[in-house]
Structure 1
Amino acid sequence: MKRPYENLEKRKVTGGRRRASRGRRRYEKDMYPMETTVGEHEVKIRRVRGGGIKVSLVSDQFANVIVDRRTGQSKRVKITRVIANPADRDYERRGVLTRGSIIETEVGRATVTSRPSQDGVVNAVLTEGK
């Protein structure tokens, strides 16, 4: 869906500047994505449309990893680094945690199953043990 505000700053076909007839509405306000990194635990609480809240994880050094899928046993382990991130190659270099990113932990490699920037927690499933 195209937001109405996006067309207010476009230029004319001739190249001339088009002046906005109004300002940006509250519901048109954009929110920058929270790019969760590995580091000291930090959380940001943001108000979203409808008056709800969203707990965004700015950075964290621990993850809840499901060690045994059969029993569902999980451990809180330290994240060493981000190995791969299929969402974006740049995220891989910068060490940004998103859903699907592969992380190295104390117990082995794990895949992130939660959305850290929207859930406020890093949950993962162990893929390779040490």
Structure 2
Amino acid sequence: MQYQGRSKRSKTGARLRPRSKKKKSELGREPTETTVGEPRFRTVDARGNVEKVRALSTDVANVATDDGTERATIEDVVENASNPNYARRNIVTKGAVIETDAGTARVTSRPGQDGQVNATLVDE
């Protein structure tokens, strides 16, 4: 989670001056807006001895069905609750409803963080 610092106002509403600038460890990064298309990935150094794989674009989703999990091709982003423009721009985030060849599914993973799209079928 990105650290935002303390509030700019006190309980009484008085303005608080900043104690210091953000430290290097408190800085965030630009969001990875994963699009539908030719698979492209980027590895990013994370805190600790960890590397995160970010999906810049992908066209494959692991869709959980009643029979198990199957690998499906993403055709389109139907709806994205986080931002209506994301659906128009075919950007996949957690909670987005995608159209696959296995059916309509909701994304349960964070592609910009995990590097893969996991989804469950939506009953319509």
Residue 51 (structure 1) shift = 4.0
TM-score by length of 1: 0.75
* Aligned-partner Cα distance in 2 for 1:88–1:58: 18
Indicate yes or no: 2:43 matched with 1:45.
yes
* Aligned-partner Cα distance in 1 for 2:52–2:58: 17
Q: Tell me which of 57, 60, 70 is aligned to 1:59.
A: 57
Unaligned runs of 5+ in 2: 9-19
- In the other structure, the counterpart of 1:26 is 24
Unaligned runs of 5+ in 1: 8-21
1:10-59 deviations in Å (ceiling 9; x for gaps): xxxxxxxxxxxx98743244311101010111111001233421111111
- In the other structure, the counterpart of 1:96 is 91
* Aligned-partner Cα distance in 1 for 2:75–2:4: 40
* Aligned-partner Cα distance in 2 for 1:61–1:79: 5
TM-score by length of 2: 0.78
* Aligned-partner Cα distance in 2 for 1:28–1:77: 38
* Number of equivalent positions: 115
The residue correspondences of 1:1-130 to structure 2 (distance < 5 A) are 1-3=3-5, 25-68=23-66, 71=67, 73-128=68-123
Match of 1:90, SS? helix
Residues 65 and 2 of structure 1, relative CA distance in 2, 3 Å threshold: closer
Tell me the C-alpha RMSD between the 2 structures: 2.7
- In the other structure, the counterpart of 1:19 is none
**Greater gyration radius:** 1
* Aligned-partner Cα distance in 2 for 1:3–1:51: 25
1:60-89 deviations in Å (ceiling 9; x for gaps): 101010121xx5x11101110000000111
